[in-house]
Structure 1
Amino acid sequence: MNKDSQASRRKFLQQIGATSLVAASSPFASLGAQQKAEERILTYEKRISVGEKIRLGVIGFGVQGHFDLASALKVPGVELAGICDLYTGRIENAKELYGKDLYTTRNYKELLDRSDIDAVIIATHDVWHARITIDALAKGKHVYIEKPMVYKIDEGPKVIAAQKKYGKVLQVGSQRVSSIGLAKAKEMLAAGEIGKLNMVNAVYDRQSSIGAWQYTIPKDADASTCDWNRFIEATAKMEFDAKKFFWWRAFKEVGTGVAGDLFIHLLSGTHFMTNSNGPETIFSTGQFSHWNDGRNLPDVMSGVMQYGNTAEHPAFQLTLQVNFVSGTGGQEVIRLIGSEGVMDVKGNTISVKHSIMPEAPGFGGYDSVFTLPKSMQEEMTRDYNAKWTDAQRKRPTKEDVIFRAPAGYDEHVDHFTHFFDAIRNGTSVVEDATFGFRAAAPALACNESYFQKKIIQWDPVNMKLK
């Protein structure tokens, strides 16, 4: 590329090796030591060592179970050993995908009893998460549990205690916390790139029936093909309802709605970037705007949380938003707002725009000085000009910057890589039971706030309701 072309692009491709990155514990090259530029590309060169073989079981082979398994099998040395699901059609689908000899069952306890399974993915409906996790740990299995880690807040300490008791690896499935994009945002925030944090606006909107969980219900759905009795074993008895079975997120009896599905992504990402233990106060409101499909959890929901001043971060306010009929067409962004700029985190693209106040206080313009007597205006103008220099009155400038992950980067595979590395090497996972609970509890408290119409008080250090 010639010099003219280089100048016209105004782009500087900053190559940052992340070979040693594990849960962003090792920082990227320091921002302060690098030349500022309009755009930089994060390169990722993580080498995956193939250690001992890990045999994997899957409990819950729905949408997320399919995605999780496909990502897990991209990590070398991982093999599928069995699948459990309550719907016969998904058992058939599993054999079509992975071979007719694949071990399958509709009873998760039978899968846990197998000695040839080292680890399990738990991707069931929410009400079963804690129970199956504890059973799996007790059987000596490592656990990858989908978010939210628990269905009820009081289940959190039990899961944490079980993980400590049995000493197995547990990682919660909010895969974004393993991304190199969030790792870069975390570093820039800590480096003061946007000044002192004071607010976070987090949005996860959708605009489709599938986005609102109106998944296709199979023609043969009934109480026998869906093993309804086992499905409701952990809940109050109910008559068979195909919607509750296949659209379970929309029903509070078995799911946790937008709070447990999408608020929790925004919370886990925010907590990772800010090193936060969580909020102190939680309030949420919601409404039924479009999807009048029998659901009892809203399709539009907002939350407001207050985070206290701690050694890890200054006090800030977090707003959460999910809109299933958003005219934007859908969007996912966490915007961190500081005293010197904003950082937008959209997937693995991080953009920073700066706005820095001058050292001198404001004077003149949209100000009350023009309402004073003319002689006083002139005297005060002279005083102001004598006290503050031209440089002190100007807004400092700082070049905006964009970071992008390379094409083809997959944070989901990274998340599973951390999980399997922890099993093989004893390293730490990015989202253990404590981290997972500190994200789940405020999300679930949003449902409590919505139904009870009150502010929820939370102790983020001791992880309990006040």
Structure 2
Amino acid sequence: MKNHNQASRRRFLQQIGATSLVAASSPLSSLAARAKAEERILHYEKPISPNDTIRLGVIGYGVQGHFDLNTALKVPGVELAGICDLYTGRLENAKEQYGTELYTTRNYKELLDRKDIDAVIIATHDVWHARITLEALAKGKHVYCEKPMVYKISEGYPVIAAAKKAGKVLQVGSQRVSSIGYAKAKELLAAGEIGKLNMVNAVYDRQSSIGAWEYTIPKDANAQTTDWERFISVTATKMPFDAKKFFWWRAFKEVGTGVAGDLFIHLLSGTHFITNSKGPQSIYSTGQFSYWKDGRNLPDVMSGVMQYPDSPEHAAFQLTLQVNFISGTGGQEVIRLVGSEGVIDVVGNNISVRHSLMPEAPGFGGYDSVFTFSKAMQEEMRQEYDAKWTPEQRKRPVKEDIVFKAPDGYSDHLDHFTNFFDAIRMDKPVVEDAQFGFRAAAPALSCNASFLSKKIVQWDPVNMKLKV
């Protein structure tokens, strides 16, 4: 098996070296960069000593909890130590998957009290993220918290302070920021490949009931099987049992953060990573209930417009955000960075760059006012233009496009968890710490605030504070 894994990794590296690049600017084309990729991929061929084993607990074992745990356990030296969930059926499912001896509980505090747990995945409803994160850090656990890091902007400051005080690793779960494709886009932008950035168009559309969060609700769902009273103990108001609020929770503002917290956050995290941005200064969002009229109180179609200021990290640019849950495209995810000389399209982990450069000479003739002048004036100005600008100066310069494709089988989710566990073992910084996570969460949550208030939200991206 070991030899098979080594051969697979070697093939993966060969794929990286042979990745389609219609330019000699690949971040993986140099020997140094290739060595870095090799170090990342082959790192875990080294034996993991018992002292380096990381015992993992999972709090919230729904859809994302399952995906996160499955990926985390692919990193060698990681062991499952316990699972917490409020719904009894998911605890039964956990024991069916990992054995009857697995420790399970409906009380996350009991899991955090266990001395044999080093790190936890927090994949609960959004409304619980900050509270459990604070308690996990206080108990000395490393934390992988799903996005958005917080449910309310006010929760961000204590989480940042607690992470700093605890000296433990806190990584937020927007896995795309660990993508080799995003790293490529970041390099190309910084190299000036598309000139000066001025706009980003980011879209995350879906077209399915599951994509719109209408997850299957189990037949035994009730206040007892979901521990409803514990579930709503953290909410602002008490609510009677509602299976939709428990299982379709993203659609309800009482416990979730809607498309802004689920999908805008991915687009914001990716944009911030690629541009090195600290965030926008003004935020406006609008939405509508277009198709999934199932009792939800957060929109199924939503757009946002954000203005990013001129900063040491980047020139001023405008960001547009879009989520459409009944999109006739069938669904799409793309971050398009528009510059003065071209466009970078980030689609999943793949990158394409198309160039469009302005000619050196200004325009003259065609769809222009010159034909409205007298014939004498037209001729005089034409002669002056021809004398000043050569035919070459009037042509648009041509620059080869670039295509970067991640190798088959590549997983940014696995890279994100690898980064998390590397940070624990080697005391390394993570790519998405509490500050990064908050700088993405705050603008996303502000989109909900803007939609509900119908007002523009002003934000201080440097000091991470709302402007009154």
Residue number in structure 2 paired with 1:286 = 287
The sequence identity of aligned pairs, in percent, is 78
Q: Which residues in structure 2 correspond to 1:243-392 (within 5 Å)?
A: 243-392=244-393
Name the structure with the higher helix share: 2
Gaps in structure 2 of 5+ consecutive residues: 1-14, 20-25, 31-36
Cα distance, 1:392–1:43 mapped onto 2, change above 3 Å: farther
The one-letter amino acid paired with 2:161 is A
State the 1:27 CA deviation: 5.4
Tell me whether 1:47 sits opposite 2:48 in the alignment.
no
Cα distance in 2 for residues equivalent to 1:112 and 1:142: 11
Give the deviation of 1:382 after TM superposition. 0.9
2:16–2:406 CA contact under 8 A, matched in 1: no
Corresponding residue number in structure 1 for 2:6: none
Q: Which range is displaced more, 387-396 or 320-329?
A: 387-396
**1:137, 1:166 within 8 Å by CA — same for their partners in 2?**
yes
CA distance in 2, matches of 1:210, 1:123: 18
Is the 1:16–1:28 contact (alpha carbons within 8 Å) kept by the matching residues of 2?
no
Indicate the residue corresponding to 2:140 in structure 1. Answer: 140
SS in 1 for 2:419: helix
* Count of aligned residue pairs for this structure pair: 438
Shift of 1:392: 1.1
1:66 partner letter: H
The 1:158–1:339 alpha-carbon spacing in structure 2 relative to 1, beyond 3 Å, is: same
Show the 5 A alignment for 1:217-228.
217-228=217-228
Label 1:120 to 1:14 Cα distance change in 2 as closer, same or farther (>3 A): closer
State the alpha-carbon separation in 2 of the partners of residues 444 and 161 from structure 1: 20
Cross-structure match for 1:120: 120
One-letter identity of the residue aligned with 1:351: S
CA distance in 2, matches of 1:199, 1:289: 27
Task: After the TM superposition, list the runs of 4 or more consecutive aligned residues in structure 1 that deviate by more than 4 angstroms.
Answer: 26-30, 42-45
Shift of 1:28: 4.2
Q: C-alpha offsets along residues 139-188 of structure 1, whole Å, 9 cap, x if unaligned?
A: 00000000000000010011000001111000000000000000000000
1:15 match: 17
- Counterpart of 2:374, as a letter, is P
Please give the TM-score of this superposition, normalised by the length of structure 1.
0.92
Which residue identity does 2:420 align to in structure 1? F
* Matching residue of 2:10: none
Deviation at 1:65, TM superposition (A): 0.1
Is 2:16–2:28's contact at 8 Å kept on the other side of the alignment?
A: no
Distance 2:16 2:372 in 1: 52
Residue aligning to 1:422: 423
Aligned to 1:402: 403
Q: Distance in 1 between matches of 2:218 and 2:39?
A: 41
Would the aligned equivalents of 1:43 and 1:405 in 2 still touch at CA under 8 Å? no
Shift of 1:412: 0.3
Partner of 2:165 in structure 1? 165
Note the C-alpha offset of 1:389.
Answer: 1.4
Could you tell me how far 1:29 is from its partner in structure 2? 4.4
Any idea what the Cα deviations from partners look like across 1:350-386, whole Å, max 9, x if unmatched? Answer: 0111110001111011100000011111111111111
1:56 and 1:261 map into 2 onto residues whose CA distance is: 24
Q: Are residues 1:186 and 2:186 paired?
A: yes
- Per the TM alignment, residue 48 of structure 1 is displaced from its structure 2 partner at its CA by 2.6
Show the 5 A alignment for 1:59-208.
59-208=59-208
The TM-score, its normalising length taken from structure 2, stands at: 0.91
Matched residues in 1 for 2:28 and 2:316: separation?
26
Shift, 1:15, TM fit: 1.4
Distance 2:418 2:18 in 1: 20
Question: CA 1:365–1:43 in 2, change beyond 3 Å: closer, same or farther?
Answer: farther
Report the equivalent of 2:56: 56
Is the Cα contact below 8 Å between 2:344 and 2:352 reproduced in 1?
yes
Quick check: 390-399 or 120-129, which moved more? 390-399
What is the rounded CA distance, in whole Å, between the counterparts of 1:191 and 1:46 in structure 2?
Answer: 26
C-alpha distance in 1 between matches for 2:86 and 2:217? 14
The residue matched to 1:258 in structure 2 has which SS? Answer: helix
Aligned to 1:38: none
> In structure 2, how many angstroms separate the alpha carbons of the residues matched to 1:273 and 1:263?
15
Structure 1 residue 239: Cα displacement: 0.3
Q: Secondary structure at the match of 2:114?
A: coil
Residue-by-residue CA offset, 1:176-208 (whole Å, 9 max, x unaligned):
000000000000010011111000000000000
For residues 16 and 125 of structure 1, what CA distance do their matches in structure 2 show?
Answer: 42
SS in 1 for 2:216: coil
**Deviation (angstroms), 1:318:** 0.2
Alignment check: 8 A CA contact 1:202 1:318 kept: yes
- Alpha-carbon distance between aligned partners in 2 of 1:449 and 1:240, rounded to the nearest angstrom: 29
The answer (yes or no) to whether the contact 1:48–1:76 under 8 Å persists in 2 is no
Give the structure 1 partner of residue 5 of structure 2.
none
CA offset at residue 401 of structure 1? Answer: 1.6
CA distance in 1: counterparts of 2:299 and 2:443, whole angstroms: 17
Q: Which runs of 5+ in 1 are unaligned?
A: 1-12, 18-25, 31-41
Amino acid in the other structure paired with 1:196 = K
